[in-house]
Structure 1
Amino acid sequence: MTVTSLLPQVRSVLDAGARIYSGTESAERIAATIDRLDEPLRVAIAGKVKAGKSTLLNALVGEELAPTDAGECTKIVTWYHDGITYRVNMYPKVGEPKQVPFARTDGAIDIDLGSIDADDVERLDVEWPSSSLRQVTLIDTPGIASLSTEVSERTHAFLAPGEDQITPADAVLYLMRHLHSTDVNFLEAFHDEEFNQPTPVNAIAVLSRADEVGVGRIDSMSSARRIANRYKSDPKVRRLAQTVVPVAGLLAQSGSTLREAEFKALSQMAAAPRDETEKLFLSADRFVQSPTSIHLTSMEREHLLDRLGMFGCRLSVALIRQGAAENASKLSNELVQRSGLNELREVLLSQFAERRDVLKARSALIGLENIVHEHPVPGSDQLAAEMERIHSGAHEFAEIRLLNSLRAGGVKLKNEEAEEMERLLGTEGSSARSRLGLPAGSSDADVRIALQNSISRWQRKAESPMSSRELVDASRVLIRSCEGLLVTLS
């Protein structure tokens, strides 16, 4: 079954469910599930307090929208999606949703809840015309491990709503500054070996605030990448997340939104004697307060530090001095490139966007399965049987199950075999060339030969009397994947 045939089958069973449950209390939930199938992919951003969730969201959008302070609205799950106008809707826990006023404060949206307490709000919905939000809806969640257990519980309830419940998110970016037991426990809380919750296929770990790993040094991102690579091989992380990507969130946000006045201020620092600027870079206090011949006030230097951080200021000055950033636009591009944001976007594209239809189909089936389980009615047995047929027949779901099993250690393989198996399952992209590890410019003939060789290799594994039952089953999944790619190539 291909993705193109999977979606119509899922839509068909949803339509049948809408007819069977027409006039019942479940009708609205099924209608919402059908609508969700056509919406952009929903990606939640989660992590501990001060992990940089809102900062990363702003960087991905390319605009300062989400507030990064500790205001009341940061305690509420907030959705950001593309729209035709600028507005904010508030969904209370009790009562009907309503539009609420907002203002822009230093770029970020300042939402006025009026007399309503944040604890009484289920979620906020920000509609914002943006090309960055046309293919994905970003969901900012309150920090876990907060001093307020109630605030932390909102994120837990959103991403891990419990048995027979489905998270509203199709995929998750989990931000962590270091791999802490709290991070692993939280990832495990919403991980499920089947399909009910995020799996390695739709969860990505982000080593956020990566520039702080090297205490603001120029080589901080190199250090962060080494740590991220170590986390990638950690069995606990592999079981729960697709990969680990280091991102300097503040650098990414400031690079995406750099202003001309900030570039001019950084240029003044770059034009100053090197020993004078190096003294400023010794600490945040010295950067802001130390006397200097550079014609920037303490307030201007404090603004630069708030916007770019010590690493961003140091890097910007170095780039301007080297002639790599002769104007604001070039500096902006350099900062974004060096922040790790582009790498994260590529992962989002290859892992989430390319699997969008599979993830959406999966979420829709889970939603309908929960309704059938909770509220059986005449005809729901046939719905359950049809959904089971789709689950068992959809090869895309078989690939997800196999990847889960691989990451959990359910299939014993040599390292190089495991790497090939994961790549064939689409961990580096869903195209034939990505799955085979071939260069993007490889000819169709080369791809065909590589696919045939791969089929032969895994066929031998499947037929070998020395192979375990798990390896035989895994090999058959890979053979079918390769055969499907051959058909597509033809």
Structure 2
Amino acid sequence: MSRLLDETRAVLDHAIRVFADDPHAVGALTAQRARLGGPLRVALAGSVKAGKSTLLNALVGEQIAPTGVGECTRVTTHYADAPSPRIGVTYRGLRREGDPAELPALHRRGSLVIETERLDLARVAALHVDWPSQHLREVTLIDTPGVDSAVSRSVWGSAEQSPEDVIDCVVHLVRHLHEPDTAFLESYGDRVAENVGAAGTLVVLSRADEVGGGRIDAVMAAQQVARRYRTDPALRPWCATTTTVAGLLAETARTLRGVEFTALRTLARLDRAELEAQLLTADRFVAASGVLPSGTRLALLDRFGLFGVRLATSLLRRGVDDSAALAAELGRRSGLDDLRDILATRFLARRDVFQARSALLAVERFLARARSGFPTAGVAGSRPSPVPRAAASRPPDAPALAALAEAVERVRSGAHDIVELDVLTRLRRHPLALPGRASAEVTEEAERLLGDAGPAAAERLGLAADTGASELRAVALAALGRWRGHAENPLADPDTAEVAQVVVRSLEGVLAELPRLVGVG
């Protein structure tokens, strides 16, 4: 366990003692404490049918989240690693007689089925799916209802949010940067930033195959769009970066079946002109007569989409000769591998920092509520308490609150990693302005040095991962001198000078962790 998490745990213990008479605060703070050092909590957000559940299945490598034509995610659902399958239900307020605490974990045709017909969804806070999976050991994935859904009661700022709904990072899926997605980012961005910030938010163009009209190069075209989105003024303030993935293809690649490989290989052996004519449209493909029945063709479209069938048969023609190789190549070309790399370098590598920041912010919110004279019930991260309001005693006195605030500040002031996240979020909205240097150029360098692309020394310095220590040290020393100059520049505005000082501290940390060169002779 890291020192930062140990110090955060001590602050939470202090806060639990201060708010001991408030069951709302105790419940939320205890939940925060219990999750420190555990899996990172990543929420999948986006409009209805943006592909959240499909991407979740691709990341896990199994079909455990329901997908289909209609709206499938009608209540926030947590997917976590566990020894055996289980589907638990938590409610808003007390569970009534007849409310099921669990749902049966049913399997149909290789997929998990979540039957919610017995539930009053308006009263359900969340579902919790326990599932044995190595891909869920480091991260708990939270599938949320569409932000434009009529039934949406997601984790974004609900006054009755339960402790387990606390999130560390957000993956926001968009088809294109259209109105519903921009509206979400603008309406909920500030609320998400309270816990996550732009440094913890990733935007994914989730229907990459649609950008290029289903052509073989569709994902490449979508990658170009994603690169443009990274500098889009409507998007930049709300996320760390953007990437793209063909979600359906990624899911199918991770769950490819032998019978599907056989059918695709049969198609690939057809005359090229004949197959291309069949694959012009979905209707033509299903109606084509010959080597495959229409039922098999429909199943391939359902699993791969027209783009996936085109790409798979093209790869088979080029020499991919077994199902494992085909699945690996489809996964790579879907963009899933790039997405997993971003999640690992930007989010998982900073798991302790995201968790500590979220926990400290929870304490600060309870402090603010207590100081303002409002009850802490309804603070984000708290569960409605069954204890009658009359049973609650008076709030903590001013000295106790002041001592707790000092404890929070001590941890924050000594946690440069948290400062980096805060500054990265600020830079997404307010680029730097240094005399004699282009704003975009200097802001990009500052973000990289602050660990925007990953906290490792090579990632911060923009060098290859296998770069030697001597070269890392030389580049870091040059950057340190440059940014000390920025921090001391009398023409720089105060905000820019402050950011430069944080960058200087980051570079000093990089140099401190590099092996020292020892002279010989």
Partner of 2:82: 83
Which residue of the partner structure matches residue 133 of structure 1? 136
How far residue 114 of structure 1 moved from its aligned partner, in angstroms, is: 5.1
Instruction: Give the Å deviation of 1:40.
Output: 0.7
Query: Is 1:320 aligned with 2:320?
Result: no
2:127 is matched with which residue: 124, 127, 136? 124
Q: Which amino acid aligns with 1:297?
A: P
Superposed CA offset, 1:420-449 (max 9, x none)? 111101111110011001111111111111
- Which residue number corresponds to residue 214 of structure 1? 212
**Contact 2:207–2:246, Cα closer than 8 Å, also in 1:** yes
Q: 1:411 aligns with which of 404, 413, 432?
A: 432
Rounded to whole Å, the distance in 1 between the matches of 2:135 and 2:198 is: 24
Describe how 1:83-482 pairs up with structure 2 within 5 A.
83-96=82-95, 98-113=101-116, 115-146=118-149, 148=150, 151-152=151-152, 154-155=153-154, 158-161=155-158, 168-192=166-190, 196-291=194-289, 293=290, 295-323=291-319, 325-375=320-370, 376-378=395-397, 379-413=400-434, 414=438, 415-482=440-507
Q: Is the 8 A contact 2:81 2:133 kept in 1?
A: yes
- 1:68-124 CA-partner distances (Å, limit 9, x unpaired): 126786211110000011110011224337122131223332123453232332111
Structure 1 residue aligned with 2:14: 16
Give, in whole Å, the separation in 2 of the partners of 1:488 and 1:56. Answer: 37
**Separation in 2 of the partners of 1:330 and 1:40?**
31
CA contact (8 A) 1:14 1:30 kept: yes
Q: Tell me: CA distance 1:467–1:164, structure 2 relative to 1, closer, same or farther (3 Å).
A: farther
In structure 1, C-alpha distance between the alignment counterparts of 2:500 and 2:229, rounded to whole Å:
27
**Identity, % of aligned positions:** 42
Cα-to-partner distance string for 1:196-248 (whole Å, 9 max, x where unaligned): 13311100000011011111100101110111111111122111011111100
Deviation at 1:256, TM superposition (A): 0.4
Deviation sequence 1:235-282 (CA, Å, 0-9, x none): 221110111111000000000000111001000000010111111111
Query: Does the aligned pair in 2 maintain the 1:48–1:143 contact within 8 Å?
Result: yes
Equivalent pair of 1:191/1:197 in contact (CA under 8 Å): no
Amino acid of the residue matched to residue 400 of structure 1? L
CA RMSD of aligned residues (A): 2.1
The amino acid of 2:253's aligned partner reads: G
- Could you report, residue by residue, the CA deviation over 1:349-380 in whole angstroms, capped at 9, with x for unpaired residues? 01110111000001111122222333441423
Q: Which runs of 5+ in 1 are unaligned?
A: none
Whole-Å Cα distance in 2 between the matches of residues 458 and 383 of structure 1?
Answer: 35
Change (3 A) 1:163 1:198: farther
Paired residue for 1:6? Answer: 4
Report the counterpart of residue 485 of structure 1 in structure 2.
510
* Secondary structure at the counterpart of residue 279 of structure 1: helix
Residue 307 of structure 1 and its aligned partner are, at CA, apart by: 0.3
Provide the C-alpha distance between the structure 2 equivalents of 1:160 and 1:188, rounded to a whole number of angstroms.
Answer: 14
Deviation at 1:38, TM superposition (A): 3.1
**Alpha carbons of structure 1 residues 401 and 115: separation in structure 2 relative to 1, 3 Å:** closer
Question: Structure 1: how far apart are the matches of 2:80 and 2:275?
Answer: 42
How far apart, in 2, do the equivalents of 1:45 and 1:114 lie?
A: 24
In the aligned structure 2, how far is the partner of 1:17 from the partner of 1:451? 40
User: SS of the residue aligned with 2:465?
Assistant: coil
1:238–1:162 Cα change, 3 Å: farther
- Separation (CA, whole Å) in 1 of partners of 2:103 and 2:31: 23
TM-score normalised per structure 2:
0.88
